[in-house]
A = this chain, B = another copy of it.
Amino acid sequence: MRQSKEQFRRFLLQKGLKSTRQREIVLDAFLRSSTHLSTEDLYQKVRRRHPNIGYATVHRTLKLFTECGLAEERNFGDGQIRYEWTGDKSHHDHLVCISCGVISEFEDSRIEQLQRDIAARHGFVMTSHRHDLYGLCAKCQEEKVRKGC
């Protein structure tokens, strides 16, 4: 958090960009939020306290976060880009509940290794991957049972 703000300031400086009130606000809101939020999510969040900040500013600031490595863009097939704080976390993949939308994370080094093998076998130099599991989370399963579906 503290060092994320530092990282962003250094990035701006080094790129000859300016540190502004709006960027501080957006970064602060971003860091305080649960991860995996869309531009709209963050815009709504920012807007509550700072109603005059525009959607475009939030959008452009998120792109800056991505560029400087503070955030990563994710796409879970729901038609919007979601931004994840990369922070201090290592690589991980996602479990997405198709009912309530909750996103949890997992990590499995055996899968990572198998992926590398597969890429190599196909002559690919792998630069990234996406691995999402979709299904019903425990809570939504219960609810379905309770409602008798």
Contact = CB atoms under 8 A, between A and B. Distances in A.
Contacts of A29: none
Interface stretch (A33-41, A43-51, A136-144): A136-144
B119 A124 contact: no
Interface string A114-133: 11001100111111111111
Nearest to A106: B118
Contacts of A130: 77, 130-132, 134
A128 B134 contact: yes
Interface in A73-132: 75, 77, 95, 97-98, 104, 106, 108, 110-111, 114-115, 118-119, 122-132
**What is the count of identical protomers in the complex?**
2
Chain A interface extent, by class = 20 to 34
A135 interface: yes
Contacts of A115: 111, 133
Given A119-B95, A131-B130, A136 B125 contact: yes
Interface of A: 75, 77, 95, 97-98, 104, 106, 108, 110-111, 114-115, 118-119, 122-138, 141
